[in-house]
Amino acid sequence: MPDLLQQLHETTSFIQSRYAHTPMVGIVLGSGLGNFAQELKIEEELAYNEIPHFPVSTVEGHQGKLIFGELSGKKVVVMAGRFHFYEGYTPDAVAYPIRVMKQLGIGHLLLSNAAGGVNPGFKVGDLMIITDHISFNVINPLLGKNHAELGPRFPDMSEPYTKEIIKKAKRIAADQKINVQEGIYYGVTGPTFETRAEYKLIHRLGGDAVGMSTVQEVIIAVHMGLPVFAVSVITDIGIREEDNIITHEEVLQAAKEAEPKLTTIFKQLVAEL
Written as one letter, the residue type at 127 is L
Alpha helices in 73-232 (DSSP H): 91-104, 163-175, 196-204, 215-223
Cis ω for the linkage preceding 191 (within 30 of 0)? yes
Written as one letter, the residue type at 231 is V
φ and ψ at residue 73, rounded to 5 degrees: 80, 5
Contacts of 245 (CB under 8 A, 6+ apart): none
Q: First-to-last CA distance in the chain?
A: 38
Q: How far apart are CA 37 and CA 70, in angstroms?
A: 10
pLDDT recorded at residue 1:
46
Neighbours of 171 (CB within 10 A): 12
- Total tally of structural domains belonging to the chain: 1
Segments forming the whole domain that contains residue 95: 4-272
pLDDT recorded at residue 173:
97
pLDDT recorded at residue 224:
97
Residue 221: CATH number of its domain: 3.40.50.1580
pLDDT recorded at residue 118:
94
Q: How far lies 87's CA from each of 90, 141, 193, in Å?
A: 9, 15, 15
pLDDT recorded at residue 64:
84
Q: How far apart are CA 269 and CA 263, in angstroms?
A: 10
Radius of gyration of the CA atoms of the chain, in A:
18
- Tens-digit pLDDT string for the chain (273 aa): 469 999 999 999 999 999 999 999 999 987 666 677 788 899 999 999 999 999 876 665 546 899 999 999 999 999 988 899 999 999 999 999 999 999 999 999 999 998 999 999 998 889 999 999 999 999 999 999 999 999 999 999 999 999 999 999 999 999 999 999 999 999 999 999 898 899 999 999 999 999 999 999 999 999 999 999 999 999 888 766 666 566 767 667 777 778 889 999 999 999 999
